[in-house]
Amino acid sequence: MQRDRAGRALASFLENVLEILRRGVKLGGFPEPLYKQLSRPERIVIVKIPVRMDDGRLEVFEGYRVQHNSALGPYKGGIRFHPEVTLEDDVALATLMTLKNSLAGLPYGGGKGAVRVNPRELSVRELEELSRGYVRALAPVLGEQVDIPAPDVGTDPQVMAWMVDEYSKVLGRNVPAAFTAKPPVLWGNPVREYATGFGCAVISREAAEKYLGGFRGCSLAIQGFGNTGQWHAYWAAKLGAKVVAVSDTSGAVYDPEGIDVERAIEVKRKTGKVTNYPEGEKLRDPQAPLYVDADIVAPDAIENQITVENVDKVKAKIIVEGANGPTTPEAEKKLYERGVVVIPDILANAGGVVMSYLEWVENLQWYSWGEEETRARLERIMMNNFQRVYERYEELRSRRSDVTFRDAALVISLQRLYEAMKVRGWL
């Protein structure tokens, strides 16, 4: 059990997710059985994965796949390789995937997989053995119409390539649609590399158009310069915004005149540190972008970054959550009291899973739309999702002043799940 500095027990990740569910069911006026259905996964599979290590030793890893809900379609969600991940975390993550996929309007339920392992401590061969072993152990419950994994923390397109290859071997035929975010040469799509950041940029633009009168010339500050943050910055600049601050664990770069994003990405790739960018002011605090003068702030790094302790320093009018869970509930409340709008993770960073859906549709047809058309489809879906949540938010807010964008997203997501379960006869 985790405790705070005063020794009080902290709610677990799963408890927090269940609390969100409870709040959504109440706010949307749904019947209690909806909570009963969604607070437990449909199926949890625990497997052992024996791997012969490079030194000849036999290691046996524990792997999970949580299949949370299938009311809207096959289970969909990533596979995480992390030394501290627990089965309980996996249940929480799978629950969030059900909500995210429903909100995005995808024909998917939610699932998530995990292996307790530090992938950085494995050789490439050991990592390949583990990835293939995971698939062999779970093959009976996976599949293009059953459960479609993708990468998550600690896994990547190479891992997906091994997994789809192993699954295809088990079935004795090629099954491209059984995994998504594969390398482009193996039935993947080049848009996947930047899909999450691209989606964040589209959402930033849509929010700016509603609340700031337009995106062109708007200032944007981004905390975290990894896959999400770099592509968020890149596409926001392409769409007309001015990126004034970026950061990674080495610190931050601030330039009110605007950062040359392509150059910053090149510097980060070559040297590993964005602070080696030659211009602008260098700030030591990696959280500095959260506090600079900017119209939009995007926490794109990790969870729990905007908290009650630092929320008063945030000056932006809009927060776009590229990372998962970067704003604590108490901090979010304070932001809304000041008229700041927080576009929640479940909407803002859905570009990755929406792109996975497009890849899956391509694979089922053995056809590729190519980069431009795929990106246009992704953009349309993200814009449509934003519009739906915006309309629901404005409508709910006209009745209750304490409603957030996150609440509106949750209610839309639950509404779709409720209707699907109702017509299926599950409620």
Position of minimal CB gap to ligand NAD: 226
Per rule CB under 6 A, is residue 327 in the interface with ligand NAD?
A: no
Per rule CB under 6 A, is residue 168 in the interface with ligand NAD?
A: no
From candidates 226, 256, 258, 329, binder to ligand NAD by CB under 6 A: 226
Closest separation in Å from C-beta 322 to ligand NAD = 5
Closest CA to 176 of 86, 167, 263: 167
Catalytic status, residue 112: yes
Per rule CB under 6 A, is residue 254 in the interface with ligand NAD?
A: no
Q: Which is nearer to ligand NAD, 12 or 227 (CB)?
A: 227
Phi, psi of 135 (to 5 degrees): -70, -40
Per rule CB under 6 A, is residue 385 in the interface with ligand NAD?
A: no
Number of residues located near ligand NAD, criterion CB under 6 A: 21
Would you state the structure tokens that stand for residue 272, as one six-digit string?
């590993």
From candidates 90, 165, 248, 332, binder to ligand NAD by CB under 6 A: 248
Per rule CB under 6 A, is residue 302 in the interface with ligand NAD?
A: yes
Query: What strands, in cross-sheet order, belong to the sheet with 147-151?
Result: 43-52, 58-69, 109-116, 75-82, 147-151
Q: Is residue 312 exposed (0-12), middle (13-18) or buried (19+ Cβ within 10 Å)?
A: exposed
Closest CA to 238 of 262, 214, 257, 269: 262
From candidates 98, 102, 131, 223, binder to ligand NAD by CB under 6 A: 223
Closest CA to 195 of 368, 374, 385, 323: 374
Show the site string, 332-371: x = touches ligand NAD by CB under 6 A, - = not. -----------------x--x-------------------
From candidates 188, 280, 286, 344, binder to ligand NAD by CB under 6 A: 286
Closest separation in Å from C-beta 356 to ligand NAD = 9
CB distance 39 to 88 below 8 Å: no
From candidates 75, 134, 162, 225, binder to ligand NAD by CB under 6 A: 225
In three-state secondary structure terms, 15 is: helix
Residue 331, number of CB atoms within 10 A of its CB:
22
Of these residues, 112, 182, 242, 317, which one is catalytic?
112
**Which window, 90-98, 214-222, 298-306, 361-369, contacts ligand NAD (CB under 6 A)?**
298-306
Per rule CB under 6 A, is residue 276 in the interface with ligand NAD?
A: no
Local structure of residue 425 (DSSP, 8 states): T
Would you state the structure tokens that stand for residue 13, as one six-digit string?
């990740």
Pick left, alpha or beta for residue 325 (phi over 0 → left; psi -120 to 50 → alpha; otherwise beta).
left
In three-state secondary structure terms, 153 is: coil
Per rule CB under 6 A, is residue 324 in the interface with ligand NAD?
A: yes
Would you state the structure tokens that stand for residue 221, as one six-digit string?
């500050």
Catalytic residue ranges: 112
Q: Which residues bind ligand NAD (CB under 6 A)?
A: 196, 223-229, 247-249, 286-287, 300-302, 322-324, 349, 352
